[in-house]
Each structure stands twice: as structure tokens, then as C-alpha cells.
Amino acid sequence: MSTDPAADGGGGPRPGRSRFRRVNGVVLTVLAGAAIALGAANATQGPRLNSAEINTRALVARAEQRLVLHANQSLTDIDASQVTVTPSVPVDVSVDAAAITIRFQEILDYDTDYSVSVADVTGAFTNAARRFDYDFVTPSVDVYTLLRNTTTEAGVDAPDRVLRNSPTGAESTVVFEAPRIQEYAASETVLMTVLQEQDDTTALVLTSLSDGVSTTVGTPAGGPLHDLRMSDELVGFRMGGELDAVTSTRPAPLFVLDLTDASGVPVQVVGLDGAPLPVLDYLFVPGTTALVAQAEDTQLYLVDPVTGTPPTPLGQHAELRGFVPGTTDLVVADPLSGSRIDLADGSVRPLDLPPAEADPVLTAGKIVVLGENTYLQQFDRFDYSEAQTSISSVLRLVDPTGTRPAYTPASESSRIRDFCMSPNGQLAAIEVVPAGSPVDDYDRLPAFTDITTYFVDVATGATRRSVSGFLPSWCR
């Protein structure tokens, strides 16, 4: 037997094992080099945008909404000067680890392409910077109008129609029709209408906007029902109390129906003493379950009929003029002044609005406040030269820089019946009546047989669209 280790396989290196070790060493060296190269590449390329979070519907409904950009690594701080938004919107920005939160300080426009660019986004552990780009489109919004029909068909009143419209260009569709629609109000899910019955009583009808199914809602006795308004799932209305449902300011009981309440029973609004509160006017507070009610003595109360908390007095004021778009700041008017009430803390400050510059022959009319010192105002010209007085109208935008045209009807003989602002403060909904249009002679909210509602971009003066009908749901 040989004693040579190589001959019996013991102790000496084997060619296969040696070759494996050499290959393994090469592989490890290559992997190590690749890892170093990858790390160097990451260090030089900087962070990347992985994903984003955004609620575009909220962006057109409320200010202070956010866009969150998620990077692939932790980031250094970023300030607002590094963020560019097109079209321009002021923003706040903060960084938390790998997330950039961009908060838009204003409500955004409907149906608009936005681009957001963040310059010099730098990783917390690298010196390399990158630019993050993100684009999004805001949605349009539904706005409703009422189209009345004063003709008869086979001796029966022709149906009136409530139309769903897009202010930025889609076709109008009929969502409800019935004879003698006195008024209506709409939320995202429900349409409420007040119908005048054959015996001249009024009926409150609820229609689902998802399937079109309608049901009659039980209401207290003592009609007629009027001043119908909605806020999300709350429906408000007054019952009776008026000698003339068109012109009288006689107070009437106010009821609120919570559509989420299974009982389906409207709750009457009460005053500080717990007794029913006779109400001259009221407005729902945007985005809340509260409302502001004006009592018989013109005292204002902040009331939450859902929580049942005691009313909060807000002082005496002659007129409710609505809310500044995108806020819960209530605008009120008195004979010699106007005020802005912050409902968050109840503070009142005077409205220091710049005076409008207008031809002295024009009669100043309705004002809608858009911001701290900006407003829209209607002016009418009365022509008494003919046997029948004619009226023409213009709308002016007033701010500290001066007064400029906001909208003028195409026909010099047309007049503006009413106007209001979209909830985001972008578009004015303007009801225009042509000369000679007859009154429709309805008991509640009489209008004209030929009215067109125009949607006008206040910033540019451009008319975005016109639709048939009046009483745009933004004005309710």
C-alpha cells in the first residue's frame, strides 16, 4: 500500500476545490464592487419620487388641503420657496422622514390641470439633489338649475324640470320633473323639491340622485313650506307664518330634517328659552351641522340642531349676506355698515370695503363679498323714456386696485335677476333675463319664463358656460 498522500487522496489540495475557491473569491469581489458602485450611484443620483397621496375633490371644496409626496429615502427640510405650483397657488410645506407635505392655502379651481414642482429635494444622508414633479387634474362640480314650464298639455300643467349641469362644459341632464316646482335644494346625494299640489298645499319630495327614486317626506302642519335649503345631510325649511311668501318678512318656525336620523321627523329650532324660535332668515354654516338663524328681533343665533347644544347669540344685525367663499366667516349688513363674524370664536370686525367706482346714473345693488377687501356688486340702469320702464344690468369686481367689469350681458336690454358665487370662489352664477320676458306667476319665488344662468370666471371675466333655468344650487 502506498504511503504517498497524493496517491490515497488524503491531505493534499484537490484541483476541484481549489478552482471553486478561486471562482467564489471572484464572485464576492464582483458583488462587493457592484454594491460599492450601487451605493455610489444612489449617493450621486439622490432621492426619487415613489408615490403621492391627494384628494382632488377636497381640493375644490376647502382650503388647507394637502398633497403628500413619498420619496425612497429620508429627506432634508424643504421650504415653500422650493415649491412651484402652476397655476399659481400659495403653499406651506413640511418634511417628515421621506414624506413631503404640500398644503394649499387656497381652494383650487374646478376642472383645471395643475403642475407641482419641488426643486433641490436632497436626501438626508447624501448631498445629491433632484427635482420632484407631480401633475393632477381637479374635478368639475355639479350645479343644478330650475327650468319652469308655464304651458299646459291636454289641460294639465306641463312639468317643470330640475337640471344637473357642469359649469365647465358637459351636457345638462334632467334629474327630476313635476308640475309646479316652487323651489328645490340639492346635496351630493339627494335632491329636495317643494311642489304645489292641486289644492294649493305644498309637498316636500326627496329624490335619490343615484337611482332617481322619489318619496314624499312628512312635514309638520301649518304650511306653506318655503325657504328650503340643504347642507350635506341636513334639510332646512320654514313653515307658514308669511302673509305673502314672496315679499313678506314675517317670521316663521324653522325646522331641520337630519336625513341620517331613522325617525325621519323634522326638529324645530328653539331659542335660549327652549321655546320655538320665530325666524326671519337662516343659513347653514358650510362644512358643519350648524346654522345661523335670524330671530324676529334681528338677533342672530348660532344653532346646532343635531347636537342640541344651546344657541349662541351673535348680536343683532339687519341682514344675512352669506359666507366668504371657503370660510365660515359670516357677512352681515346693517343700515350704515357691514361686518364679518368669525364663527370659530364669535369675534366681529367691520367690513372695510373699498368704494365702487360707477356711473352716477347706475343704481347700486346686491353685494357678494369674496375676501377681506374684494367684492362683486350689481348695478342697474333704469330707462324711463318709454311707456314701460326697462332695466339693464352690469356686474363689477371691486378691490383695493379699483373697479373693473366682471360681467355684462350680451344684450344691452337684458338684466341680472340674481347672482352668487361657487363654493370655491372661482365662478359667479349669474341669472340673466331678456327684455320682455313675462313673469311665470308662481306663488313662491316667482321668476321669468325665459332665464339663462351664466357661469363666469371672476378672475378672468371669461364666460365658461350658459345653461337654461334659474335658482342655481350654489345660491341655496
The CATH number, out of the four listed (1.20.1640.10, 2.40.50.140, 2.60.40.1220, 2.60.40.1180), of the domain defined by the range 49-137: 2.60.40.1220
Predicted confidence pLDDT, tens digits, the chain (476 residues) = 444 444 444 444 455 555 545 544 444 444 445 445 445 555 567 899 999 999 999 999 989 999 999 999 999 999 999 999 999 999 999 999 999 999 999 999 999 999 999 999 999 998 899 999 999 999 999 999 999 998 887 778 899 999 999 998 778 999 999 999 999 999 999 999 999 988 888 999 999 999 999 999 999 887 789 999 999 899 999 998 654 545 556 789 999 999 999 888 999 999 999 999 999 999 999 989 999 999 999 999 999 998 888 999 999 999 999 999 988 999 999 988 899 999 988 899 999 899 999 999 999 999 999 988 999 999 999 988 887 788 999 999 999 999 999 999 999 899 999 999 999 999 999 999 999 899 998 988 999 989 999 999 999 999 999 999 999 999 98
Closest CA to 63 of 110, 94, 103: 103
Burial class, 139, CB count within 10 angstroms (exposed 0-12 / middle 13-18 / buried 19+): middle
Omega of the bond leading into 87 within 30 degrees of 0 (cis): yes
Centre a 10 Å sphere on the Cβ of residue 130 and count the other Cβ atoms it contains: 17
Per-residue pLDDT of 49-103, as tens digits, reads 999 999 999 999 989 999 999 999 999 999 999 999 999 999 999 999 999 999 9
CB-based contacts of 447, cutoff 8 Å, min separation 6: 148, 417, 439, 440, 470, 471
Domain residue extents for the chain: 13-45, 49-137
Per-residue pLDDT of 348-406, as tens digits, reads 999 989 999 999 999 999 999 998 899 999 999 998 888 778 899 999 999 999 999 99
Q: What angle do CA 347, 351, 354 make, to 5 degrees?
A: 160
Residue with cell 341655496: 476
Compute the distance between CA of residue 339 and CA of residue 346 in angstroms, rounded to an integer. Answer: 12
Instruction: Quote the cell numbers at residue 243.
Output: 302673509
- 470 has which bridge partners? 146
Residue with cell 313653515: 239
Note if the pTM is more than 0.75: yes
Residue with cell 493534499: 12
